[in-house]
Amino acid sequence: MSLENIVRVGRAGEKWLIKDRGKTDVTEMVPILPIVQGLIDKYRNHSYYKINNRSIPVNNSHYWNNVYLKELAGIRRDLNTHLASHTFAEVMLNSGVPLEDMGKILGDRNIRTTQRYARVRNNRITENMVRVKGILFTKSGKLKAVG
């Protein structure tokens, strides 16, 4: 991730990674979450950062990306960038990020590509039903007037 790809966006000026994906030539837009910002800050004085203009000292090979990802995650099972991408998408979708937003974040050309990540969990259904019940019904269970 090159530093030129980190851009401040919106009224709050939040940091986002914005770049074209090589595989699809679609622009991906990913908000820089606190854990990622922590990694950027941690390696700010690293020689790789200064020489290669990269925010994190990771070689661009899939092999080394997977090795570092596994180390960062602190797990012993097989892990790769593909699995990490699926896991991230599933967690975000089940945390309430809309499918269309996730598609843009992932740089997917088609919403059907993003739908393969959408494994809906029961707790998400429960949270949505609680929210909808609060909108449609009173506390005593009567239907609220619509409009």
Q: Measure the CA–CA gap between 71 and 52, rounded to whole angstroms.
A: 22
List pLDDT tens digits, range 49-97.
667 767 666 666 667 766 766 666 666 667 666 777 778 888 888 888 8
Q: pTM score, two decimals?
A: 0.51
Q: Measure the CA–CA gap between 128 and 135, rounded to whole angstroms.
A: 11
**Looking at residues 33-59, what average pLDDT do you find?**
75
Q: Measure the CA–CA gap between 80 and 87, rounded to whole angstroms.
A: 11
Average pLDDT over the chain, rounded to whole? 79
Q: Do 110 and 104 meet the contact criterion of CB atoms below 8 Å apart?
A: no
C-alpha dihedral (21, 70, 6, 115), degrees to nearest 10: 50
Report domain extents, the chain: 1-57, 60-147
Q: Do 54 and 6 meet the contact criterion of CB atoms below 8 Å apart?
A: no
